[in-house]
């Protein structure tokens, strides 16, 4: 029998800094363990949650070491399926983590799971990779439901499309799972913490050279951009892109996001990136002493708290209706 309500337990695999955990804990669920191999990410995780129960490398786990749980949540490695990455997929060792997760689901007879990955997985290898993953999980005994959701539709002003999987053990699946509806996104100013320490010198030769390259020259008027507070610009490798009241996808390896406040360009900080991923301010303040570059990278690799919370609520509703 599956436990219901606030008694539900989950394990946080490929946990990163714990955005998935936080999304479920905000619903009253209890985390019984997590698994993360990146030392820096796990340090941030422990600062957030004061939890040193890291199971370590999930590929080396003894099944007896894994606590019993009702839900398995994982943002399994996405570099191999990303547009930015080489898109090697199952040929890359990191793409094999899904097999270990599948074995854990079977051995521990876990009733439900929530997985997250990059949108690029949907079209990887002309859709064959996605179909193979669904078939793998289906053969493991789960009805699998997947959908691409955008974080901006769930209470944060960040454009972040990810594919989410919800698995329900077949003996518990009486009807299709329905993903949550979107909500109106808020103003980005509520997620920013501008200070004089993060201002970009627009007259710096490097920035001026960037503005005058063949991609931006004649297309970008920086003086006009500076007239509107909370305009966001993404200084990509070649062309600059402009957004109004929203932020482009936060990325792990590149952090060239700026925004306008009082006619100045501010560099997006790691703490602001965490806020844009749905971490409440009281959590963000806990990690203010962690370096900015690490927080930016970790936020870029995290799930969005709000999306997981919304999916978790839909799953709780499903369990209560069908248990």
- Tens-digit pLDDT string for the chain (323 aa): 455 445 899 999 999 999 999 999 999 999 999 999 999 999 999 999 999 889 999 999 999 999 999 999 999 875 555 444 454 545 555 558 888 999 999 999 999 999 999 998 898 888 888 998 999 999 999 999 999 999 999 999 999 999 999 999 999 999 999 999 999 889 999 999 998 889 999 999 999 999 999 999 989 899 999 999 999 999 988 889 999 999 999 998 767 899 999 999 999 999 999 999 999 999 999 999 999 999 999 999 999 999 999 999 999 999 999 87
Helix axes 128-139, 97-107, angle to 10 degrees: 20
> What's the total number of domains in the chain?
2
Q: 100 and 192 share a domain?
A: no
Q: Say how far apart CA 252 and CA 229 lie, in whole Å.
A: 26
Q: 123 and 52 share a domain?
A: yes
Q: 104 and 171 share a domain?
A: yes
Q: 49 and 133 share a domain?
A: yes
Does this model's pTM top 0.85? My answer is yes
Q: Say how far apart CA 174 and CA 319 lie, in whole Å.
A: 10
The reply to whether 78 belongs to the active site is yes
Q: 26 and 116 share a domain?
A: yes
Q: 97 and 160 share a domain?
A: yes
* CATH code where residue 105 lies: 3.40.50.150
Q: 95 and 27 share a domain?
A: yes
Q: 125 and 239 share a domain?
A: no
Helix (H, G, I), strand (E, B) or coil at 268: coil
Q: Say how far apart CA 172 and CA 142 lie, in whole Å.
A: 9
pLDDT at 237: 80
Q: 28 and 173 share a domain?
A: yes
Which residue in the list 14, 31, 78, 247 is annotated as catalytic? 78
The domain of 98 spans 5-185+301-322
Q: 135 and 23 share a domain?
A: yes
Q: 192 and 105 share a domain?
A: no
Q: 17 and 58 share a domain?
A: yes
CA atoms within 13 A on the CB side of 307: 31
pLDDT at 6: 52
pLDDT at 314: 98
Nearest to 188 by CA among 254, 262, 273: 273
């Amino acid at each position: 029998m599956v436990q219901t309500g606030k008694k539900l337990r989950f394990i946080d695999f490929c946990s990163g800094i714990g955005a998935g955990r936080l999304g479920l804990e905000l619903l009253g669920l209890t985390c019984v363990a997590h698994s993360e191999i990146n030392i820096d990410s796990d340090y941030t995780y422990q600062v957030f949650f004061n939890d040193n129960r890291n199971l370590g490398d999930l590929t080396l786990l003894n099944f007896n070491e894994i606590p019993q749980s009702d839900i398995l949540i994982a943002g399994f490695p996405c570099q191999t399926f990303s547009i930015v990455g080489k898109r090697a997929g199952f040929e890359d060792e990191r793409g094999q983590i899904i097999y270990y997760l599948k074995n854990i689901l079977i051995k521990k007879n876990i009733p439900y799971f929530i997985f997250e990955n990059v949108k690029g997985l949907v079209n990887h290898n002309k859709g064959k990779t996605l179909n193979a993953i669904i078939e793998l999980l289906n053969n493991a005994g789960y009805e699998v439901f997947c959908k691409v959701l955008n974080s901006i539709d769930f209470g944060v002003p960040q454009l972040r499309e990810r594919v989410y999987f919800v698995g329900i053990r077949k003996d518990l699946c009486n009807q299709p799972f329905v993903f949550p509806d979107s909500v109106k996104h808020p103003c980005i100013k509520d997620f920013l913490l501008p200070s004089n320490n993060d201002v970009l010198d627009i007259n710096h030769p490097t920035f001026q050279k960037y503005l005058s390259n063949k991609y931006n020259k004649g297309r970008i008027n920086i003086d006009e951009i500076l007239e509107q507070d909370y305009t966001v610009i993404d200084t990509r490798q070649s062309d600059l892109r402009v957004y109004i009241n929203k932020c482009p996808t936060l990325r792990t390896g590149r952090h060239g996001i700026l925004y306008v406040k009082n006619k100045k360009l501010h560099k997006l900080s790691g703490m602001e990136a965490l806020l844009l991923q749905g971490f409440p301010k009281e959590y963000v303040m806990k990690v203010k002493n962690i370096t900015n570059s690490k927080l930016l990278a970790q936020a870029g690799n995290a799930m969005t708290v709000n999306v997981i919370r919304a999916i978790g609520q839909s799953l709780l509703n499903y369990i209560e209706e069908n248990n």
